[in-house]
Structure 1
Amino acid sequence: MGCYTLYRAEPICLENKLGHLKIHLSDIKSATHNFSETYTIASWNGDYTLYRAELHCFDKQNLLYQKGKYEGEHLKGQSTVLLKRYPSGHDLYGEEVFFREIEMLTLVKHPNIVNLLGFCVEDSEMVLVTENISNGYLVDYLGNVNHMRVLTWEKRLKICIDVAHALNYLHHEMEDQKIIINRDITSYSIGLDENLGAKIVDFWFSVFLPPNQEDEALYLRWIGRNQYIDPEYKKTNKLKRESDVYSFGVVLFEILCGGKAFDPIYMKENVKGLGPVARQSFCMGTLEDMIDPILKEEIRENNFVLTRGPNKDSLHTFMKIAYQCVAETQDQRPTMKVVVKELEKALSFQLNSEVKSDYVEEKSHASIIETQVVELSNELNNMNMTCESENFKIHNKENMLHDQTNDPAEPDCFLSR
């Protein structure tokens, strides 16, 4: 199996090629009040800092987009955007990584991948400008009871399916037979939009797999967050698309269990975190004990179901594919095409069970109403019978009184002689 050199565009050439996406640093500083903490929404371990701001230098609705390339100048306007500020002078996250992410984001076009709107390279600053992710990042939800309660099982499945579609696109469906391995699929790199739709937002570690080499591997020093890294890749530096599959499997277990992969509760059991712990638990038949307790809740108010837990078939389908994703070796893992199919099957089981449940509830509700109608009808009948009986008695009394007033034995004082 060969060792391939990464395809890489020279930063200067790329910067010139994408000049229409350049944004002045002065505009960014003005929008963020010189990178004020007021506009900061996240800062993770010195990796980068995220800001949300109204950027007045362009209007993303006016960017002309054709055949995978942006054309035209930024038109004056205003839009809420995210600004990803690379750390200054960092050995790992330097200019090469910055321009690699720009290159990747200009090539990928998928509804579940964040849109690049612009970038800034001035002085010592490197900033990416992307569409707004209004509901934050998946990692913000994990471990937070109030936030996780918003994510019903159905919503969690849809988030997983969104990310799976994006990965399948990168691995199998890009134009010109391009293949991208993301290398950084974690709960940090998954954003949620206003409808809780999921988008992959980070591409700084991404690499191209050479064309027509689908079954080959890149030999490349591993990088990323320990608890999400493919163990075979970490051990041998052999990178394949199945390395993304492993990382995604860890995210699936995070969503199932409601906690981060590096939560101390998992790290105590295995220093590699949630992936190996969940895999072992699945083999022992105890994985259901690890499920987020919120998913097991069923809240009722006035006899109406507000949230439902997972359907058994849906849950087992999900657990099985998640387990397969985190297999120890790359060859044992499924492709993203298979993962998408199984996750959609899990969602189908869930939706069908909810329809049946709604039917049963409606039927039960209808039965209750029918019973109440019968009871009310019987009660009215009883009331009518009682009324008829009372009316009969009253009518008899009236007749008796009438007979008494017309008694012939009583003399008529006014009878003429």
Structure 2
Amino acid sequence: MFFSTSNGEEYEPSSSSSVQGSQPCRHFEFHEIQTATENFNESLVIGHGGFGKVYKGKVINGSSLVEAAIKRLDSMSDQGAAEFWAEIETLSNLRHCNLVSLFGYCNHENEMILVYEYMPNGTLEDHLHKLGTPLSWIHRLKICIGTGRGLHYLHTGTGIEVGVIHRDVKSSNILLHESWAAKIADFGLSKIGPTNRPLTYVKTVVKGTFGYLDPDYYATGKLTRKSDVYAFGVVLLEVLCRKRAVDSSLDKDQWNLARWCIIEGQLKHVIDSDIRGRISPKCLKECVRVVERCLHNDPKQRPTMAEALASLEYALILQEKFNDSFERAGKTMFGRIASMLPFSSNTENSDKSDSKLSSDCKPNNGNATISVLAGNTVLPETRKFCRFSQSNPYDISVC
């Protein structure tokens, strides 16, 4: 299937979002969970969400001992048995490379525990807002594409004659594998419904996370796959701007990121400064277009996940082409500069280390002799270095 991009070209989503083979969901005995978590040792806590604490531990999965994330329901949580069984039902039937895998569960007296594959790189939220991880634009875009593939599979490719609406898409529910592949997690609020019509809805009590919540769903109680598309648009905004979906520390007109960026038209002015100068103009235009469409007030005007995914994959191609051309231009510029520099023929100090500068750099026929060592141009008169920037080959700064 092909979709149109902003410049009229057609693009087909990648077929790499293949479905993994179905695997059984195992029932763990409570004593196995106690052993894995050292009786719920606080030192093993790696997270805490609406469901409860998450522990890191090792469990038997098949014939292997593997690391796992073990989520234990908190007795004070607003969630409970409904969310617990919804998670099991959903993930037991679904297998995809961009969905977190559920190894199994434990239901013992009042204990309700879910056992997942362990994601060593934590959540997208952590890296964007807590750890300050330096994430390149290509890196961020690939995380968004992985998330989009997972949602597209949920909506249309489950192979179980029904579609799944996640209902709580947000950066804290996007986990990152050690390879940095994105995996969607937390299906406690998900709903299953027919897929025969794009806007088939489920009438339900409004649940989700403020800031990511579809305004139309909030107003009508009608949950559709386009509600996930809206939340995905908010995640794209977070990635572009490195700002939280909701930030009450800001001025009142800015604390809701989606409303401020789209309604107030501020998106192009709040792109994260770490990536602003590194995004291809064409790529940025495509991504802004996707965000604006995903966050449209009218669900009918929002793209399907397939369409949003196609646009993002096309944007990635545009960015990679831009990076390649920029790199080639940088190499050409470096070569031209180097070819114009007269190299010293003085061999007086040839027995010394290559890293040591000659003290006999003298003018040659009225021209200054310049030595070039490993990308650093040495000016003999000042003994200072001009370093060629790897990120910007046109920038030559004197240190």
Shorter-chain TM-score above 0.5: yes
1:325-344 alignment runs, 5 A limit: 325-344=294-313
2:88 and 2:276 map into 1 onto residues whose CA distance is 42
1:21 and 1:145 map into 2 onto residues whose CA distance is 34
1:89 and 1:43 map into 2 onto residues whose CA distance is 13
Q: Which residue of 2 aligns with 1:280?
A: 263
Q: Which has the larger radius of gyration?
A: 1
Q: 1:20 to 1:364 in 2, by over 3 A?
A: closer
Q: 2:196 aligns with which of 207, 212, 224?
A: 212
1:270 and 1:376 map into 2 onto residues whose CA distance is 57
- Contact kept in structure 2, 1:137 and 1:189, CA below 8 Å: yes
2:242 and 2:230 map into 1 onto residues whose CA distance is 18
- Contact kept in structure 2, 1:266 and 1:277, CA below 8 Å: no
Deviations 1:154-204 (A, max 9, x none): 000000000001111111222143211110101111001112111001111
> Tell me, what secondary structure is at the counterpart of 2:57?
strand
**CA shift for structure 1 position 219:** 1.2
1:19 and 1:123 map into 2 onto residues whose CA distance is 23
**CA shift for structure 1 position 53:** 1.6
Q: Which residue of 2 aligns with 1:54?
A: 58
- Contact kept in structure 2, 1:221 and 1:237, CA below 8 Å: yes
Q: Provide TM-score, normalisation by structure 1.
A: 0.74
The structure where strand makes up a greater share of residues is 2
1:98-113 alignment runs, 5 A limit: 98-113=84-99
Structure 2 letter corresponding to 1:53: G
The structure where helix makes up a greater share of residues is 1
Find out whether 1:139 has 2:125 as its counterpart.
yes
How many residue pairs were aligned? 328
Q: Which residue of 2 aligns with 1:32?
A: 37
Q: Which residue of 1 aligns with 2:70?
A: 83
- Contact kept in structure 2, 1:181 and 1:244, CA below 8 Å: yes
1:324 and 1:257 map into 2 onto residues whose CA distance is 17
Structure 1: 5+ residue stretches without partners = 1-17, 63-74, 298-308, 387-417
User: C-alpha root-mean-square deviation of aligned residues, in Å?
Assistant: 2.4
Q: 1:20 to 1:359 in 2, by over 3 A?
A: closer
2:249 and 2:182 map into 1 onto residues whose CA distance is 27
Q: 1:125 to 1:235 in 2, by over 3 A?
A: same
Deviations 1:213-243 (A, max 9, x none): 4432111111011111100000010111100
Q: 1:263 aligns with which of 231, 242, 247?
A: 247
**CA shift for structure 1 position 370:** 2.3
% same residue: 31
> Tell me, what secondary structure is at the counterpart of 2:67?
strand
Q: Provide TM-score, normalisation by structure 2.
A: 0.77
Deviations 1:52-104 (A, max 9, x none): 1223xx1x3x3xxxxxxxxxxxx4x42111111122264x4221220110010
> Tell me, what secondary structure is at the counterpart of 1:127?
strand
2:129 and 2:31 map into 1 onto residues whose CA distance is 38
Deviations 1:288-328 (A, max 9, x none): 2211122236xxxxxxxxxxx21111112111101110111
2:24 and 2:346 map into 1 onto residues whose CA distance is 82
Structure 2 letter corresponding to 1:52: K
Q: 1:50 to 1:189 in 2, by over 3 A?
A: same
> Tell me, what secondary structure is at the counterpart of 1:113?
coil
